[in-house]
Structure 1
Amino acid sequence: MSQPAAEWFSTWFDSPYYHLLYRERSHAEAHVFIDELLAHLHPKPTTRLLDLACGKGRHAIYLSKKGYDVTGVDLSPESIASAQQFAHEHLHFHVHDMRDTLPYGPFDFIFNLFTSFGYFANETENVVALRSAAAALRLGGKMVIDFMNTERTVRELVAREEKTIGDITFRIRRHLDNDFIVKEISFLDQEGHARQYEERVRALSQERFEEYFQMAGLRLVEVLGDYHLGAYDEKTSPRMIFVLKK
């Protein structure tokens, strides 16, 4: 019997070329966003935080420096191995699939940042992931999901783009495939071999998210529209940031 194809994120996120393509992501912008969130949510000094889909841990590390007890989990063993060098008594990292039960809670806050949701081919798995997160949240605890503003992203989709970083030229093609925004990434690697990867993120509307939240037992508190926590506007906001309460 043939093995099922690997899910795109399990291979691409472990590739050194993923980190090369996105290396210009601004730590300063991420820190401003975290600072704004903390000022808005008022976590207590004893708060336990979970960074769900933490990548190499840049947000978890910054939250830890603010004095909180932080756990970061991610599907990518390569990313978690990189993050582990920063671990200490109040900062822990684990390889974890968000669809599985979280054994590390309970948490006062769960952050899922920078469009780290909606990757699964089976839509029901989005609800499974939210239920697993909700189960690890204390009663009265809050979850923040930071997603793209799907309506604006689809409207302004750039079909083709090239990015040269070092000696690698990434050719990027974007299109819609049923319910997904697809980004095809092709390039020649450093040995001259052709490589191709794909990102697939479900084009989730606010209404669809609200259905998920209801099924996961999470109450929507507010929707914010940018990293300075401005009000959400479907036509103009760059982000769709949900604040949820258990």
Structure 2
Amino acid sequence: MLPAPPQEWFSTWFDSPYYHRLYRARNDEEARAFLAKLLRYLHPKPEARLLDLACGKGRHALYLSEQGYDVTGLDLSPESIRYAQQFAHEHLHFQVHDMRQPLLTGPFDFIFNLFTSFGYFAQEADNVVALRNAAAALRPGGKMVIDFLNTDLTIRQLVAHETKRVENTEFRLYRHFQHDFIVKEIRFQDDEGREQHFEERVRALSQERFEEYFRMAGLRLVEVLGDYHLTAFDAATSPRMIFVLKK
């Protein structure tokens, strides 16, 4: 019998309660302010259909829904979607979905992929597959926003070791660059005192490589923004690469 293929890091870590514990202090106020600016920039029509692709526990999809839009949130983590379902209503839907699979819902006027929810896959070709699936779910003339870290700046500023205490858990974080990936190792003792080890791996994608992906997916790059205030991207100083794309 062939051995089972190794589990992808995100399929276990994102479903762990310790993932949500580590990141419980994420700045919701900053996220909502960013989304408000993004909506003013994109000015969707009131009847627009929006997709939050890799929606996590649904906080961004919920905000978009509160602005009056019909919103769908998709994420590969069953635990996250189970949590998000408490917010669902007639115009806010959540489903478990792997972005490497064709989308069964749509078409959408806008697709959002926010807060570095891309570039996780071991096989680089899967990035293009995911983008092609998203493009296929966009209406002609529809737009997609991909919010990614500024890779070069992130690598230059990488903090090699850090300790964070959240509730009763001390997380030991180790960061390094390895084989085209920015890697964060997460080590801690769980509530039963057992040592645990998880990883986060994000491919170190340059703007040029993203642009190559976009061409292969049939998406046209409209603009690159550099932060959550939507200022123009500067490769030397911007913390983010926020791509605005059009089908």
Correspondence 1:39-188 to 2 at 5 A: 39-188=40-189
In 1, distance between residues paired with 2:175 and 2:161?
6
Aligned to 2:242: 241
Look up the SS of the partner of 2:82 in the other structure.
helix
Hey, what's the Cα distance between the residues in 2 that align with 1:78 and 1:213?
A: 31
Distance in 1, Cα, partners of 2:117 & 2:10: 10
User: What does the per-residue CA deviation read over 1:208-235, in whole Å, with 9 as the maximum and x for residues that have no partner?
Assistant: 0000000000000000000010010011
Which deviations, in whole Å up to 9, do the C-alpha atoms of 1:166-191 show, x marking residues without a partner? 11000000001110000000000111
SS at match of 1:187: strand
Counterpart Cα distance in 2 of 1:233 and 1:179:
22
Partner of 2:15: 14
For structure 2, list consecutive stretches of 5 or more residues without a partner in the other structure: none
Mapped to 1, the partners of 2:59 and 2:103 lie a distance apart of 21
After TM superposition, which residue ranges in structure 1, 4 or more long, deviate above 6 angstroms? none
Give the TM-score normalised by the residue count of structure 2: 0.99
1:27 alignment counterpart: 28
Q: Separation in 1 of the partners of 2:237 and 2:224?
A: 14
Give distance in 2, aligned partners of 1:82 and 1:71: 15
Letter in 1 for 2:65: S
3-state secondary structure, aligned to 1:55: coil
Cα separation, 1, equivalents of 2:151 and 2:162: 19
1:201 maps to 2:202: yes
- Identity level (%): 73
1:121-175 deviation digits (Å, cap 9, x = unpaired):
0000000000000000000000000000101000000000000111100000000
Q: TM-score, normalised by structure 1?
A: 1.00
Number of residues of Structure 1 aligned to a counterpart in Structure 2: 246
- Aligned mates of 2:44, 2:152 — CA distance in 1: 31
Q: Distance in 2 between matches of 1:199 and 1:41?
A: 31
Distance of 2:177 and 2:26 partners within structure 1: 24
The amino acid that maps onto 2:154 is T
Cα separation, 2, equivalents of 1:235 and 1:163: 28
**What one-letter code is carried by the residue in structure 1 that aligns with 2:206?**
S
Distance in 1, matches of 2:182 and 2:87, equals 34
Q: Deviations over 1:74-100 (max 9, x none)?
A: 000000000001100000000000000
For 2:179 and 2:7, the matched residues in 1 are separated by: 20
Q: Which residue of structure 1 aligns with residue 230 of structure 2?
A: 229
Matching residue's letter, 2:224? V
Query: Letter of the aligned partner of 2:216 in structure 1?
Result: M
Aligned AA (1:240): M
SS of corresponding position for 2:18: helix
The residue type paired with residue 156 of structure 2 is R
